[in-house]
Each structure stands twice: as C-alpha cells, then as structure tokens.
Amino acid sequence: MNQELPAPIVNPDSQAYWDGARNGRLMIRKCKACGVLHFLPRYLCPSCWSTDLEWIQSSGRGTVHSFTIIRRAPLPAFTDRVPYVVALIELEEGPRMMANILGEDALATGIGDAVEVCFEERGDGAKIPQFSRRK
C-alpha cells in the first residue's frame, strides 16, 4: 500500500540525508565555518554561505512547532491516509523540518508536543523520516 505513495527524490545535495534515513538515522547539515545547523539539505550554509559543511546525526527528538490536519488527499495515493497530520517539527538541535505525525494518536497532536523520529518505508528500501508523539 505504501509503495503507491511518492518515493523520495534524491539529488547530490540530499543523498546523505536519504542514505541516513534508509539506515534509521536522521541526518542534518552543520556549517563548519559558523557552526549553524540547518534543514533542508543544501550545498551551502544559509547563514554565512560557506560551502564547508558536514553531516551530523540528529537525536531525532523534537517538539511540534505548528501543525495542520490534511482532510483532502493532494494525490490519489494519499486517499487512504486522510485525515493526517503535517507538522513543523523543531528538532532538539534547533532546525525545523516538515513531516507527518504518524501513530494511532496522531490526530490528537498539539503544539508543543514532544515527538520522536520514525521511518516510514516507501518501497525499494527508501524511508521517509516522519515523527510520532512521545509517550
């Protein structure tokens, strides 16, 4: 069923991010020049424009900064999934990223909820970093 959902589109800037996800790790970028951590993956630092970046592994923990509930499927493949939660997650390390909140209690998501990364399979071993509410 999940194979019908879109698989990640990998490019050279995001290769390590998707490779990390396949191995159950949430990877984020760190600038070696100014120390700023950022998401989403790109080849230069959004703070100082340095190209001297490295990958670090996030703890995978964060809080819900904002969220919305999707009630109308954006593509036919999402029809079985609605309603579902799209959230802006603030990672423990600072950067914010968009993801779905998964799990039976996902629709009870609230701002400030503690969440933890989980990895949703999308066929061919590809995995998407998503989040679930921490108990």
Please, what sign has the CA dihedral across residues 133, 106, 64, 58?
positive
Shortest distance (Å) from residue 43 CB to Zn ion: 12
Q: Which two tokens stand for residue 118?
A: 């989980």
> Radius of gyration of the chain from Cα atoms?
15
Q: Does 31 participate in binding Zn ion (rule CB under 5 A)?
A: yes
Question: Three-state SS string across 37-64, please?
Answer: EECCCCCCCCCCCCCCEEEEECCCEEEE
Q: Does 33 participate in binding Zn ion (rule CB under 5 A)?
A: yes
Shortest distance (Å) from residue 49 CB to Zn ion: 7
Shortest distance (Å) from residue 62 CB to Zn ion: 22
Q: Which two tokens stand for residue 89?
A: 């997650």
For residues 34-73, which are near Zn ion according to CB under 5 A?
A: 34, 36, 45, 47-48, 50
Is the CB of 29 or the CB of 127 nearer to Zn ion? 29
For residues 105-134, which are near Zn ion according to CB under 5 A?
A: none
Spatial separation of the C-alpha atoms in residues 98 and 58, rounded to whole Å: 15
Is the CB of 17 or the CB of 131 nearer to Zn ion? 17
Shortest distance (Å) from residue 78 CB to Zn ion: 36
- Single out the residue of 7, 16, 9 nearest to residue 43, CA to CA: 16
Is the CB of 44 or the CB of 86 nearer to Zn ion? 44
Shortest distance (Å) from residue 69 CB to Zn ion: 35
119: phi then psi, degrees, rounded to nearest 5? -125, 120
Q: Which residues bind Zn ion (CB under 5 A)?
A: 31, 33-34, 36, 45, 47-48, 50
